């Protein structure tokens, strides 16, 4: 059974710093991995989708990597801004799409 873990559960960093969010999964037989952002009480905004044949995807200040063999993905956020404060979720696609519990990110002005 696929399990998805995100560490840390919460993170506070000063504005301007680069940071890395981690996602690990137990079953490497996946199709895709997608990173989402969730603001409090709101829906999920898609950030990046990495297909299983890809190693990374980039969008603006965001870079997501995927290492299937080790069951890990990272989301790198460059030059963090207060507007980046949100919960970041990773979702792993196998038979079903399984979500991690998320990392609550707080960027300190």
Partner 1 sequence: EPEVTQTPSHQVTQMGQEVILRCVPISNHLYFYWYRQILGQKVEFLVSFYNNEISEKSEIFDDQFSVERPDGSNFTLKIRSTKLEDSAMYFCASNRGEKEKLFFGSGTQLSVL
Q: How far is the CB of 4 from partner 1 (least distance, A)?
A: 8
For residue 92, what are its two tokens? Answer: 């792993």
Q: Going residue by residue from 9 to 48, which x/- string records binding to partner 1, judged by CB under 8 A?
A: ----------------------xx-x-x----xxxxxx--
DSSP class of 3: -
Query: How many chain residues touch partner 1 (CB under 8 A)?
Result: 23
57 binds partner 1 (CB under 8 A): no
Nearer to partner 1, 53 or 69 (CB): 53
- Identify whether the C-beta of residue 33 lies closer than 8 Å to the C-beta of residue 100: no
- Identify whether the C-beta of residue 87 lies closer than 8 Å to the C-beta of residue 37: yes
Whether omega for the bond prior to residue 83 falls within 30 degrees of 0, making it cis, is no
CB atoms within 10 A of CB 11: 15
Interface residues with partner 1 (CB under 8 A) are 31-32, 34, 36, 41-46, 49, 51, 89, 91, 93, 95-102
């Amino acid at each position: 059974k696929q399990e998805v873990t995100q560490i840390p559960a919460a993170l506070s960093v000063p504005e301007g710093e680069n940071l890395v969010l981690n996602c690990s999964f137990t079953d490497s037989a996946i199709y895709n991995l997608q990173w989402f952002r969730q603001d409090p009480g709101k829906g999920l905004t898609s950030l990046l989708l990495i297909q299983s044949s890809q190693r990374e995807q980039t969008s603006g200040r965001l870079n997501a990597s995927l290492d299937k063999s080790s069951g890990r993905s990272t989301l790198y956020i460059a030059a963090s801004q207060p507007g980046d404060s949100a919960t970041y979720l990773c979702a792993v696609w196998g038979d079903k799409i399984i979500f991690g519990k998320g990392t609550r990110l707080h960027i300190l002005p």
